[in-house]
């Protein structure tokens, strides 16, 4: 049986995982009567809830006499570290592009990486049945993108298929035929993608995906670079510097067969397999025969651009809702995460009760926090900060992102105004069909933190923003922050509806009545620019005089709901988000009034 290894790459929401569902069904990997959830490859709870792919995953299908290993990759730039590693495992890529939206920033990112490692992509114009589809222009835009990314003549001569992953058909013409299913894609993969290049010599493999299994321990997925591997075979693990990390024996070799992983007796060069039995080897390490002394070269990973402090929760309510609260437990969890996610960087602070976690963007860090929260952790986290660098002349450099905003024409003016306030430079403005405009900016990452919710408010929810790391550029100067102050509770207790009702003139609340509060906790947004301490425990004075119409229940305005991402983007440098399995609370860094005043004075000085 011949072998092909391909990755499916695309921008967020262009239909990768849906296409993989259709490939699994039509190849016979999934029985007709088998119950399979929609987007079967999105197995993680957060992936199902958010409708995005966070972790890269492998599967395989059989077509005629060929086994095709397929890797489904994330489409979001924050999870780009997953994509970069995966491309070293495969020999071809299927690039999905939405027939209406065309190539987006993330398309540019993944295509650039794929072309750099020499892959010759197959282009699939997906969602051809959309009423606003414009496939001719999209094909031209894809060609222009390939040319701008310095594709070779061979790569520019890419084959194109049109169709709909959801409807389950692809063809060489936009008109169809629509009754042949995905046969055109299967045949094209077998024809166009080369067989895996196999090196001579003993067993070698680079780890690309790491996961923990309660029965088998640490499982590493990768592509066998050379030689073959059998269960119980002795192997050693080499780091990227050539030093030996550990020696051991392989307890199990698992191959991907449809949605299942099955044990096999031998893995040959070129195949993508998962191995168990080693306790220290991780992503980017070389797993090899004991006779090998040189490690394989791993793909370099782009540096992190955003960092946050993860602090042991020290609020008065600490430990009341979560069971994992100590610095040792948090430290072990963070370092375990960094082992499998090479785009994350963890550093301990000098105080030992906080950790600096750096990643690609707020979404990547928010997903990590949400995952830890569901595991029972309690932590306090700071506002995201950008990772600065200095050039050889000592000039300060900051990360700049390429931002593409699709917006209705009537709202384009306010978007341009707000982006220019954030020190963004407009690079392009063009119509994108249906009375919409596409605005392209180069904006400092600092200015984009917290802009997403403001953009949706300004454009009545019609704007779509996509971001991609562009380069490090000279520091652009100060960017104005949040203009409103906060309302701070001055006593511990339970918030009273009557007190909240009396405070509504001061600004919107962020808590409900009956919620436990403590001194220093943020309970609302002040209408002015200063912070204000308030009493939320003050009940109504009871008298024996009844007045008509005065004793009805107070009617409260619904509070502002702070999701995790919104809270992280909204807080200032002297504030924290307290995250527990049941609650998301906002608080001041210093809970005591006098300490806060001292901190303010020290900043002025």
Are the CB atoms for 481 and 572 separated by under 8 Å?
yes
Architecture of the domain delimited by 204-288: Beta Barrel (2.40)
- What 8-state DSSP symbol labels residue 242? S
Query: Fold match between 2-192 and 486-604?
Result: no
Higher-pLDDT residue of 31, 582: 582
Residue 107 contacts residue 41 (beta carbons within 8 Å): no
CA gap 316, 196 in Å, rounded? 58
More confident residue, 303 or 436: 436
Name which CATH class applies to 389-474.
Answer: alpha beta
pLDDT band for position 578 (cuts 50, 70, 90): very high
Q: What is the pLDDT of residues 115-133, one digit of tens each?
A: 888 888 999 999 898 888 8
The separation between CA 395 and the C-alpha centre of its own chain, rounded to angstroms, equals 30
- pLDDT at 579 exceeding the cut of 90: yes
Residue 605: per-residue pLDDT: 60
Poorest-confidence range of 190-199, 342-351, 591-600? 342-351
Contact between residue 237 and residue 222 where contact means Cβ atoms under 8 Å apart: no
- Could you write out the three-class secondary structure of 118-172? CCCCEEEEECCCCCCCCHHHHHHHHHHHHHHCCCCHHHHCCCEEEEECCCCEEEC
C-alpha span between 144 and 140 (Å, rounded): 6
**Binding-site annotation, residues:** 13-18, 126-129
Percentage of residues of the chain with pLDDT beyond 70? 89
Q: Tell me: the pLDDT tens digits for 276-323?
A: 988 888 777 889 999 988 888 876 666 788 899 999 999 999 888 888
Phi and psi dihedrals of 14, rounded to 5?
A: -90, 0
Query: Is residue 202 over pLDDT 60?
Result: yes
Per-residue pLDDT averaged across 141-149, rounded?
89
- β-partners of residue 166 are none
Handedness of CA 28, 30, 35, 38 (dihedral sign): negative
Phi/psi of residue 153, nearest 5 degrees: -60, -40
Number of H helices, E strands in the chain: 15, 34
Give 510-559 pLDDT, tens digit per residue. Answer: 999 999 999 999 999 999 988 999 999 888 777 666 655 554 567 888 89
Q: What pLDDT does residue 39 have?
A: 42
Q: Domain spans of the chain?
A: 2-192, 204-288, 389-474, 486-604
How do residues 10-19 score in pLDDT, each as one tens digit? 876 777 778 8
Q: How far is residue 445 CA from its own chain's centroid?
A: 16
CB contact at 8 A, 453 and 376: no
- pLDDT greater at residue 527 or residue 27: 527
Share of the chain above pLDDT 90, in %: 24
Short-list 425, 452, 450, CA closest to 440: 425
Q: Where are the alpha helices (DSSP H) in 385-433?
A: 412-421
- CA separation for the pair 596, 586 (Å, rounded): 15
Burial of 11 (0-12, 13-18, 19+ CB in 10 A): buried
Run of H or E including 468: strand 464-474
Q: Quick one: average pLDDT of 443-472?
A: 84
Long-range contacts of 322-331 (CB under 8 A, 24+ apart): 322/373, 322/376, 322/377, 322/378, 322/580, 322/581, 323/376, 324/375, 324/376, 324/377, 324/378, 325/377, 325/378, 327/352, 327/353, 329/377, 330/355, 330/377, 330/379, 331/355
Which residue is listed with tokens 């923990």? 212
> Does residue 42 surpass a pLDDT of 70?
no
pLDDT, position 329: 92
Q: Is the pLDDT of residue 34 over 50?
A: no
3-class SS letters over 67-132: EEEEEECCCCHHHHHHHHHHCCCCCEEEEEEECCCCCCHHHHHHHHHHHHCCCCCEEEEECCCCCC
pLDDT at residue 29 tops 60: no
Checking if the pLDDT of 275 tops 70, the result is: yes
CA distance 185 to 181: 9
Going by pLDDT thresholds of 50, 70 and 90, the confidence category of residue 425 is: very high
Looking at CATH, the fold of the domain delimited by 2-192 is given as Rossmann fold (3.40.50)
For position 76, what pLDDT does the model report? Answer: 56
161: left (phi over 0), alpha (psi -120 to 50) or beta: beta
CB atoms under 10 Å from CB of 519, counted, come to 17
Query: Would the pTM of this model clear 0.85, i.e. be above it?
Result: no
Mean pLDDT, the chain, whole residue set:
84
**Residue whose structure tokens are 């092909």:** 4
The mean-pLDDT minimum among 49-58, 165-174, 319-328, 393-402 falls in: 49-58
pLDDT at 38: 41
Statement: residue 375 has pLDDT above 50: yes
Q: Known binding site for GTP: residues?
A: 13-18, 126-129
- The verdict on domain 486-604 having CATH code 1.10.357.10 is no
Calculate the CA dihedral of residues 160, 165, 171, 172 and round it to 10 degrees.
Answer: -10
List all residues 6 or more positions away from 416 whose beta carbon is below 8 Å from its beta carbon. 426, 439
């Amino acid at each position: 049986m011949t072998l092909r290894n391909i990755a499916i790459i695309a921008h967020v929401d262009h239909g990768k995982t849906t296409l993989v569902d259709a490939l699994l069904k039509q190849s016979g990997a999934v029985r007709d009567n088998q119950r399979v959830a929609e987007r079967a490859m999105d197995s993680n709870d957060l992936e199902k809830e958010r409708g995005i792919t966070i972790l890269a995953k492998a599967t395989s299908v059989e077509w005629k006499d060929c086994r095709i290993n397929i890797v489904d990759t994330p489409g979001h730039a924050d999870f780009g570290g997953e994509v970069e590693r995966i491309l070293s495992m495969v020999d071809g890529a299927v690039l999905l592009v939405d027939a209406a939206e065309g190539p987006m920033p993330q398309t540019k990112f993944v295509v650039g990486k794929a072309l750099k490692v020499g892959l010759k992509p197959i282009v699939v114009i997906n969602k051809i049945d959309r009423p606003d589809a414009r496939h001719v222009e999209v094909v031209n835009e894809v060609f222009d993108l390939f040319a701008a990314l310095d594709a070779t003549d061979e790569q520019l001569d890419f084959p194109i298929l049109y169709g709909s992953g959801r409807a389950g058909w692809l063809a060489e013409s936009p008109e169809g035929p629509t009754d042949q299913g995905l046969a055109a894609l299967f045949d094209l993969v077998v024809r166009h993608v080369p067989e895996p290049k196999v090196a001579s010599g003993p067993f070698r493999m680079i780890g690309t995906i790491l996961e923990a299994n309660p029965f088998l321990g640490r499982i590493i997925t990768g592509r066998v670079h050379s030689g073959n591997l059998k269960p119980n075979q002795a192997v050693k693990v080499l780091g990227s510097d050539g030093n030996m990390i550990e020696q051991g024996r392989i307890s199990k070799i698992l191959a991907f067969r449809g949605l299942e992983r099955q044990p096999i007796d031998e893995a040959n060069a070129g195949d993508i397999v998962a191995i168990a039995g080693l306790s220290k080897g991780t992503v980017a390490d070389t797993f090899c025969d004991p006779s090998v002394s040189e490690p394989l070269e791993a793909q370099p990973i782009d540096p992190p651009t955003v960092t946050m402090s993860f602090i042991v929760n020290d609020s008065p309510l600490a430990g009341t809702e979560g069971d994992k609260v100590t610095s040792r437990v948090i430290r072990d969890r963070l370092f375990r995460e960094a082992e499998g996610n090479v785009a994350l960087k963890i550093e301990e602070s000098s105080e030992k009760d906080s950790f600096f976690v750096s990643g690609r963007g707020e979404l990547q860090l928010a997903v990590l926090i949400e995952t830890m929260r569901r595991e029972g952790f309690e932590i306090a986290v700071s506002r995201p900060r950008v990772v600065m660098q200095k050039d050889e002349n000592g000039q300060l450099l900051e990360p700049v992102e390429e931002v593409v905003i699709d917006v209705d024409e009537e709202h384009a003016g306010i978007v341009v105004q707000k982006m220019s306030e954030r020190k963004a430079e407009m690079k392009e403005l063009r119509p994108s069909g249906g009375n919409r405009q596409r605005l392209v900016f180069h904006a400092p990452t600092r200015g984009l933190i917290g802009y997403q919710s403001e953009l949706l408010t300004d454009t009545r929810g019609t704007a779509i923003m996509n971001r991609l790391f562009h380069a490090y550029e000279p520091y652009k100067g100060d960017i104005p922050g949040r203009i409103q102050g906060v309302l701070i509770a001055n006593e511990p207790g339970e918030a009273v509806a009557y007190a909240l009702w009396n405070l509504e003139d001061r600004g919107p609340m962020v808590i409900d009545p009956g919620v436990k509060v403590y001194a220093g906790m943020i309970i609302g947004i002040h209408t002015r620019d200063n912070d204000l301490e308030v009493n939320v425990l003050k009940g109504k004075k009871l008298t024996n005089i009844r007045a008509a119409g005065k004793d009805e229940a107070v009617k409260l305005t619904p509070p502002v709901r702070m999701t995790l991402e919104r809270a992280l983007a909204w807080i200032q440098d002297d504030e924290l988000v307290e995250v527990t399995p049941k609650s998301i609370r906002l608080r001041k860094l210093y809970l005591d009034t006098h300490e806060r005043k001292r901190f303010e004075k020290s900043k002025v000085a």
